[in-house]
Amino acid sequence: MKRTFAAKAWVIWLLGMGTITMVTRNPFYILILLLVARVVQAACAIPGAGVKLRFWRLALIIISLSILFNVLMVHIGETIIATLPQNWWVIGGSLTMEAAVYGAISGLTLVTLLAVFMAFNSVVPPSELIRLTPRALANIGLIVMIAVTYVPETMDQLQRIREAQALRGHRLRGLRDWQPIVIPLLIGGLERAMSLAETMVARGYGATTNVRHSTALQLGLLATLLLTLGGWALTFWVGRSAWVLVLAGIVLVIGISALLGRQVTHTRYRPRSWTKWDWVVLLCAVIPLIFVFFPIPLVDRSTLFYTPYPQVALPSFDVLLGLALAALAVPAILEEF
């Protein structure tokens, strides 16, 4: 029997994976997170969920483009592999191994973030994500449903078109072969997404009474959003101390949204209870964050940061920190028990 976890637990897992991926620059840790994301998707994916992509081919393209861009644009490093004429605008100068390594790490980070979101998209159905929509934003739920289902439905439509073309003995080879099907493909995916949204409305989703929200709360929400945005802008000049404003703004936004949500009443069909396995997923997402952001004895947090400049060298690796990151794969292990 396939075990399912609560959508809230998966959201925390997503935030943990994404945060650590963006914080670290060590390729060893990024590779661990990439493998974790792929293992979790393979073990926990819901049949028919997620967007079907040739992931490793796309990953190779992203990393290659990142290396090429960084090598041509950044002429820093001691290990010179080639030299372009100085009169070549922007790209002229020394091409270094350090720039190539830095570009590879940046591309690997993008690929890992893509893998994390693909895994999350394949293990959490859109209906569960819509249930997480705050009550104050209940009317946006339908729009979100159309948005999150458009790409998967378009990919399914493309697969059906390719199968139909194959039955007719026609293969999509060049750009000309794609021109007649682009518009039907986009329209077909949108129609299926709209059909799903209409089905939800017919079953009563989003049916709420007209509620007039307090003007003071609406103005307060706008003010806290501006506070959060202003605090984020100040981080570029003031530094870490400005993050206090960002955190305060986020807390106030959540509080005001909760107050607005109390004015909206709705019912939920077959609510899902929080189980002990959801607690396990939550803990496995929080513990790596503790290892990354808080000083822990015997853990060398400095290994999270790596730069190949001025001369490329092998990154350091902390075994305990690596094991903590590997704990994010526990949901895949629980599927086997």
Q: Per-residue pLDDT tens for 91-143? A: 888 899 999 999 999 999 999 999 998 888 888 877 677 677 666 666 666 66
pLDDT at 316 over 70: yes
Residue 81 DSSP SS3: strand
CA atoms of 213 and 153, how far apart (whole Å): 36
Work out the pLDDT band at 152, boundaries 50, 70, 90: low
Average pLDDT over residues 33-60: 82
Burial class (CB in 10 A: 0-12, 13-18, 19+), 171: exposed
- Among the residue ranges 25-29, 111-115, 119-123, 325-329, the one predicted with the least confidence is 119-123
pLDDT digits (tens, 9 = 90+) for 223-255: 888 888 888 777 777 766 777 888 888 888 878
Phi-psi region of 204 (alpha: psi -120 to 50; beta: other; left: phi over 0): left
Q: How many CB atoms lie under 10 A from the CB of residue 150?
A: 17
Average pLDDT over residues 159-167: 76
Q: Please state whether beta strands 80-84 and 93-96 pair in parallel, antiparallel, or not at all (unpaired).
A: antiparallel
Q: What's residue 33's pLDDT? A: 96
Please give the helix or strand (H or E) that residue 174 lies within, else none: none
pLDDT digits (tens, 9 = 90+) for 166-220: 777 766 666 666 666 777 777 776 777 677 667 766 766 655 555 565 677 778 8
Q: What's residue 2's pLDDT? A: 57
- With pLDDT > 70 as the criterion, what percentage of the chain qualifies? 75
Q: What's residue 275's pLDDT? A: 84
Q: What's residue 234's pLDDT? A: 79
Average pLDDT over residues 137-151: 63
Phi-psi region of 269 (alpha: psi -120 to 50; beta: other; left: phi over 0): beta
pLDDT digits (tens, 9 = 90+) for 35-48: 999 999 888 887 65
pTM: 0.75
CA atoms of 128 and 132, how far apart (whole Å): 7
CA atoms of 174 and 177, how far apart (whole Å): 6
Most confident of 80-84, 151-155, 169-173, 187-191: 80-84
Q: What is the dihedral of CA 126, 132, 133, 138, to 10 degrees?
A: 90
Q: What's residue 175's pLDDT? A: 67
pLDDT at 21 over 90: yes
The token duo for 176 is 């000309």
pLDDT at 268 over 70: no
pLDDT at 151 over 60: yes
Cβ distance 43 to 335 under 8 Å?
yes
Q: Which residues contact 220 (CB under 8 A, 6 or more apart)?
A: 252, 256
pLDDT at 67 over 60: yes
**Residue scoring higher pLDDT (33 or 230):** 33
**Domain extent listing, the chain:** 7-211+264-334, 214-263
What separation in angstroms does the CA of 32 have from each of 28, 112, 122, 157?
6, 9, 20, 34
Q: Which residues contact 289 (CB under 8 A, 6 or more apart)?
A: 16, 19, 20
The token duo for 189 is 């995916």
Q: What rounded mean pLDDT belongs to the chain?
A: 81
pLDDT at 221 over 80: no
CA atoms of 307 and 166, how far apart (whole Å): 49
Nearest to 122 by CA among 45, 198, 178: 45
pLDDT at 278 over 70: yes
Q: What's residue 7's pLDDT? A: 83
Average pLDDT over residues 271-287: 84
Residue 96 DSSP SS3: strand
- With pLDDT > 90 as the criterion, what percentage of the chain qualifies? 29
Cβ distance 36 to 109 under 8 Å?
no
Encode 102-116: b = buried (16+ Cβ within 10 Å), e = exposed: bbbbbbbbebbbbbb
